[in-house]
Amino acid sequence: MSKTLSPTVTALQRFTALDIFRGLTVCFMIIVNTSGNGATTYWPLKHADWNGFTPTDLVFPSFLFAVGNALSFVQKRWGTMKQSEVLLKIFKRTALIFLVGYLMYWFPFFKLDAESHLILSPISHTRIMGVLQRIALCYGITALLVYYLGTKKTVWVGVISLLAYWVLLLVFGEQGAEFTKTGNAVLRLDTWLLGTNHLYGGEGFPFDPEGLLSTLPALFNVIAGFAVGHFLQKQKSKSYEGLAKLLLAGIGLLLLAYCWDSWMPVNKKLWTSSYAVLTVGLDCLLLSVIIYFTDFLGKTKGTHFFIIAGRNPLFIYLMSELGVTLMWLVKIGNESVFSWLYNHIFSMAGDYFGAFLFAVWWMLTCWFVGYLLDKKNIYIKL
């Protein structure tokens, strides 16, 4: 983890629309991750149970799309660097993000045993894969592809990854149950390689929605984000033609995802190829709308809120997750701080609206830390 002190915004954040896109994504991610009460959460702020799609299912792929956007700016510096320097940066950042993600799930590293003795939390039961781990792997693989193959060939690799994943699910999944909760190849591979003790348990059984095999189609989200960022930088000035191309690409991908859904259902937890295509299409449309309002209409009022969040996105996300963990650990009487805040303060606004207000409050709290960092020109890079 490093921090940059600079009087100006770094090259990675100089494209306003992409800053806004990143900030919007991280703010929404915190909101959907920290409902005050999971049982009374509005349905748009919940993931689809299995097949299907909700607004929440757009959040993580958008984060990956934004990672690709940022990579398109970094790539421009590689031409002035030695190969060893480029590779060191790629591998170092990949390892750092993966390690931080792993430690985040292991945190707080200690727990109380049956006799109230403080003992080390067993690594044998720590989740290995996760959000930051997927970001790390997708970033590292895409960066290497871009460096050695260039933009066009990397895009083709992204397309091939979608088709290859489709085939792998069909071939190695349980016959007739390839896209079910317990018959899919993602679960089978993760169980074989990692073991059930290292998988996410939030589905009611050991299954990791950020599994190893499903990282393959997620590459497409990062590669597409890179390709879009590369395309936007090639536009020397505001161009309706460029904007139209981005819109048409988004619409075309949505149509493809709709058709593909008949054979391979849209599913976030399996990260099906149709889901990857759908989310990239939506991201292209969303980014087009942001560009139209900010660059063509000049309407930037209120956008600085998201720009601030977009300048330290990974750090703000990490802080939000660790902060929630601490709120669950620290007690007020017999209740965790998290439960106490919801039950005694936010629930007064109603079960559902109170749970939503809790999530917004926590997002604003994390945003404020980002604001203080931005005010001091501190940009923390993972």
Q: C-alpha angle 318/322/324, rounded to 5°?
A: 120
Q: Residue 117: its pLDDT value, please?
A: 61
Q: Residue 108: its pLDDT value, please?
A: 83
Q: C-alpha angle 91/93/99, rounded to 5°?
A: 100
Q: Residue 9: its pLDDT value, please?
A: 36
pTM listed for this prediction? 0.91
Q: Residue 237: its pLDDT value, please?
A: 65
Phi and psi based region of residue 215 (left: phi greater than 0; alpha: psi -120 to 50; beta: remaining) = alpha
Rounded CA-CA distance 380/342 in Å is 31
Q: Residue 221: its pLDDT value, please?
A: 98
- Under a CB-based contact definition with an 8 Å cutoff, are residues 17 and 294 in contact? yes
Dihedral sign, Cα of residue 79, residue 83, residue 86, residue 87: positive
Rounded CA-CA distance 79/282 in Å is 32
Q: How far out from the chain centre does Cα 362 lie? A: 18
Q: In the numeric block, which tokens belong to residue 345?
A: 């303060």
- The phi and psi torsions of 366 (rounded to 5 degrees) equal -65, -40
pLDDT in tens, 97-136: 999 999 998 888 777 666 656 677 778 888 999 999 999 9
Q: Which of 338, 153, 374, 166 is nearest to 262 (CA)?
A: 166
Rounded CA-CA distance 249/316 in Å is 31
Q: Residue 251: its pLDDT value, please?
A: 97
Rounded CA-CA distance 186/137 in Å is 16
What is the SS3 assignment for 329?
helix
How buried is residue 353: exposed, middle or buried, by Cβ count under 10 Å (0-12/13-18/19+)? middle
Q: Which of 158, 196, 146, 189 is nearest to 171 (CA)?
A: 189
Q: Residue 14: its pLDDT value, please?
A: 45
Q: Residue 125: its pLDDT value, please?
A: 83
For the chain, 382 residues long, give each residue's pLDDT as a single digit of tens. 555 544 333 343 347 888 899 999 999 999 999 999 999 999 999 999 999 999 999 999 999 999 999 899 888 889 889 999 999 999 999 999 999 999 998 888 777 666 656 677 778 888 999 999 999 999 999 999 999 999 999 999 999 999 999 999 999 999 989 999 999 999 999 999 999 888 888 788 899 999 999 999 999 999 999 999 999 888 766 778 889 999 999 999 999 999 999 999 999 999 999 999 999 999 999 999 999 998 888 888 888 999 999 889 999 999 999 999 999 989 998 899 999 999 999 999 999 999 999 999 999 999 999 999 999 988 887 7
Q: Residue 7: its pLDDT value, please?
A: 35
Phi and psi based region of residue 373 (left: phi greater than 0; alpha: psi -120 to 50; beta: remaining) = alpha
What is the SS3 assignment for 238?
coil
Q: Residue 8: its pLDDT value, please?
A: 37
Rounded CA-CA distance 357/343 in Å is 12
Look-up: residue for tokens 């997927």? 134
Sequence spans of domains, the chain: 2-381
